[in-house]
Amino acid sequence: MILVTGATGSIGRPLVRRLRQDGVAFRALVRDEAKGRALGCDFAVGDFDDPGSIAAALDGVDRLFLNGAGAQPVDGEQPMIRQQKTAIDAAKKAGVSRVVKVSVWHAHEGGRLAEGAHWEIEEYLKASGLGWSLLQPSGFMQNFITGAGSFTADGNLVGAYGEAPVSYIDCEDIAACAATLLTGPYGKGETFVLTGPEALTHAEIAAKLSAALGRTVRYVDLHPDDLAATLKSQGLPPGFAEDVATLLKEVATGSLATLTSAVQDLTGRAPSAFDDFLAANEEALWAIPASPAT
Percentage of residues in the chain with pLDDT exceeding 90?
69
pLDDT attached to residue 153: 75
Ordered domains of the chain (ranges, CATH)? 2-137 (3.40.50.720)
Of residues 214, 133, 212, the one with CA closest to residue 180: 133
Rg (CA), the chain: 19
**For 242-278, what is each residue's pLDDT tens digit?**
878 888 888 889 999 999 999 999 999 999 999 999 9
SS3 state of residue 171: helix
Check whether 47 has a pLDDT greater than 60: yes
How sure is the predictor about 291, in pLDDT bands with cuts at 50, 70 and 90? low
Task: State the DSSP code for 285.
Answer: G
Report d(CA 72, CA 114) in Å as an integer: 8
Mean pLDDT, residues 217-234: 86
Of residues 38, 39, 40, 58, the one with CA closest to residue 48: 58
Residues across the chain: 294
Assess contact for 46 and 53: CB atoms under 8 A: yes
Percentage of residues in the chain with pLDDT exceeding 70?
94
